[in-house]
A and B are shown apart, each in its own frame.
Chain A
Amino acid sequence: MIKLENVSLVFQGGSVALSNVTTSISEGEFVYLIGPSGSGKSSFLKLLYKEYFATKGKIEVVDMDITSLPKWKIPVLRRKLGIVAQEPQLLEDRTTFENISFALEILGYDSREIEQKTSTLIDLVELHESVYKFPYQLSGGEQTRVSIARALASNPLLLLCDEPTGNLDPDLSTQIVTLLEKINRAGTTVLMATHDSSIVNRRKKRVLQLKDGKLLSDVDQGRYI
């Protein structure tokens, strides 16, 4: 599903975000990407959906060699992925239903399909009571759920989550991770960046640890040390 070979990312000005990272993630896995702030977690994820371009190395994502993917093909890649950011980035003037259906509209579904699929996604993230609420009327956890539902609109093969529990309290964080595990059990590969040690330690999943842009460890059922 994901394959990185000696990947480095150096920003203009010379600061190194990632240095010679080599790893791979198989289909159906749930993997935590951990490390302190500035360790390169977000850069790692952004390389996978071509927000950043690797300075060196080879990257494969969902069976696509994206190392030298032309710009016009980036949307094709992103339609195979689901991306959840730390900030839910919802449209303030639209309800929960509209925020989710917006993604389906962009993907070209017709109005009947949009209605059906949005309802299914709302069921999945358990937001029945907030369907017609606007983002400012939702809790942080609910906003993250909307963001996850929107990311799932394209039936992605891979879900990339960049600290989705970063702004949430422990209970809400647990709910979000439970939801992501449910999505993973349905067949979607999940890669979640976090620096929340309690979540990582309780869930006993594979853990990739980054420090100063280097892959420090790669442990099955790992812990946040």
Chain B
Amino acid sequence: MNKLSYVVKNTFINMRRNPLLVIATMLAVLVSSFLVFTTLSGRAVVENNTSRWQNGVHVVIFLDDRVTTTAHKQLQDSLESYPEVRMVDYFSKAEATEEFKFLFKDQPELVQEVDFEILPSSLRVNLNDPSDYQLIIERMEGNPAVKEIRASGEAIDRLLSLTNTLVISASVFAVLIAFAAFILIINTLRLTAYAKRREIKIMKTLGASSTYIRLPFIFEAIFESLVGTSVAIGFGWGVIQYSKGSVIAESIFDITISDTYLINLTLGLILCSILFGLVASFIGIRKALNE
């Protein structure tokens, strides 16, 4: 018990020696952890949305209304015979009109101006594997019943590619800041160890074990790392809650992210921050102990 109080007391004494460095370290850990938290959460949100989109319509084939409905029916039959296709829905001009009116119900002027005759009927194709959309496009191209083909896969691919680029960029940035935080922790500990070199020497002479001498430094590194990470996680949760009620959430993205994912991410980050502090403290104090 006395040893524990010694360790705790000395952890805070050590931190009081270099308050600015301690704050800088915590801030660096905070920024790095916040980037990791928001990047991973953001990716999960995008994946949730794209997966929802991928479960919907993958290819829309707009039909040429000059061609007979028999030709449309034959096209639907031939599409349904493809093994890649799960389901094909025929969407008539009337249904297209209803959909348009629903989508633009907030803009009555637009609805009044539009000539609904130009809205084509279409076949809406759902694929077993959304990535096969290109195959369907190739097969349908040149068919006289087909006016135009649109695939959601293209947009999803672009979005995922953009998301991946953002995730990679943010991850590289997070790693760089984490590295800076790592160096800051090591430097803070080295400065403290230098200031306490006489005390460490006396402790070694008196028979204190390396672990015992190391403990206040380990506690300090873990404490700094944990505080930075915890605040970052708090901000991260706050950002997610705020985003749920934001314009983006209402118009483009459904900001849904499971609590289990967030809890796992939080626990993972906390565990990482403990390991981070441990490794940094071992490196930071190694030299002082070997002198």
Contacts and interface: CB of A to CB of B under 8 A. Distances in A.
Interface string B119-152: 0000000000000000000000000000000000
Contact of B210 (A72, A81, A83, A154): A72
Contacts of A106: 6, 203, 206-208, 212
B207 A107 contact: yes
A103 B208 CA distance: 9
Interface in A92-136: 102-103, 105-111, 114
A10 B6 CA distance: 39
Interface in A187-205: none
Interface in B170-210: 198-199, 201-210
B208 A75 contact: yes
A111 B206 contact: no
B202 A78 contact: no
A109 B3 CA distance: 8
Q: Which label, helix, strand, loop or mixed, suits the secondary structure of the B interface?
A: helix
Contact of A150 (B1, B206, B210, B212): B206
Is the contact region of chain A dominated by helix, strand, or loop, or is it mixed?
Answer: helix
Interface in A21-37: none
Interface residues of B, number: 17
B2 interface: yes
B202 A102 contact: yes
Contacts of A89: 198, 201-202, 205
Nearest to A106: B208
Nearest to B199: A91
A214 interface: no
Contact of A110 (B1, B204, B207): B1
A76 interface: yes
Which of A81, A83, A105, A153 neighbours the largest number of chain B CB atoms within 10 Å of its CB? Answer: A105
A209 B199 CA distance: 33
A16 to B, nearest CB: 24
Nearest to B209: A75
6 cross-chain pairs, A with B, having the tightest CB-CB distances, nearest first: A78-B207, A79-B207, A75-B207, A75-B209, A106-B208, A83-B205
7 contacts: A72-B210, A75-B207, A81-B207, A85-B205, A106-B6, A106-B203, A106-B208
